[in-house]
Amino acid sequence: MTTVTRTFTVRPEPATVLDYLKDFTNAEEWDPGTERCTRNDTGPIVVGSTFHNESKIAGVGTELTYTLEKLTDDTIVLVGRNETATSTDTITVKPAAGGGSEVTYEAVIEMSGAAKLAAPAVKVVFEKIGNDVERDMTQALDRLAG
């Protein structure tokens, strides 16, 4: 299992941040590995909403189905699954001192079957991706502040 966590501050208020991030199709703007992300269902985004995510990480393409498993006033949990991995993304948002929001993004990646052999390399790759996500998510969220 690989865990990558980043905490950073952005300009928009928590409600704006949560509203944007709960729509996982926006991952195309802030997740450098995501090439395409589409919603599988319709209507309001609620717990149980699902998304089809196509990513390329370290040159390897993968597809996961993400389910919004938790949505509260300060937390979003999205779990992506396929035959080789489960990725649990937990995003916590709280008011930042001086305005804006403090965002904590945690990705827990658990490899399955033969893919477990790659776990040590996965940690190195995802630490780099964590830095890129922090940069890109900050930029995407700050654009919402105008």
Where are the chain's structural domains? 2-144
What's the confidence (pLDDT) of residue 123? 59
Contacts of 18 (CB under 8 A, 6+ apart): 71, 73, 74, 76, 93
The H or E element containing residue 53 is strand 50-57
Contacts of 86 (CB under 8 A, 6+ apart): 79, 80, 109, 110, 112
SS3 37: strand
pLDDT at 133 over 90: no
What's the confidence (pLDDT) of residue 132? 83
User: What is the residue-averaged pLDDT of the chain?
Assistant: 89
Mean pLDDT, residues 21-41: 95
Give the model confidence (pLDDT) of 50-68 as tens digits: 999 999 876 778 899 999 9
Higher pLDDT among residues 112 and 143, named by residue:
143
Q: 45, 57 in Cβ contact below 8 A?
A: no
Please give the DSSP secondary-structure letter assigned to residue 49. -
| Res. 114 pLDDT band, cuts 50 70 90 | very low
How many degrees, rounded to 5, is the angle at CA 39 between CA 34 and CA 41?
Answer: 160
Mean pLDDT, residues 122-130: 64
Lowest mean pLDDT among 53-57, 70-74, 100-104, 119-123: 119-123
> Quick one: CATH architecture of 2-144?
2-Layer Sandwich (3.30)
SS3 108: strand
Cα distance between the two ends of the chain: 38
The H or E element containing residue 69 is strand 60-71
Give the model confidence (pLDDT) of 8-28 as tens digits: 999 999 999 999 999 999 999
What is the model's pTM?
A: 0.88
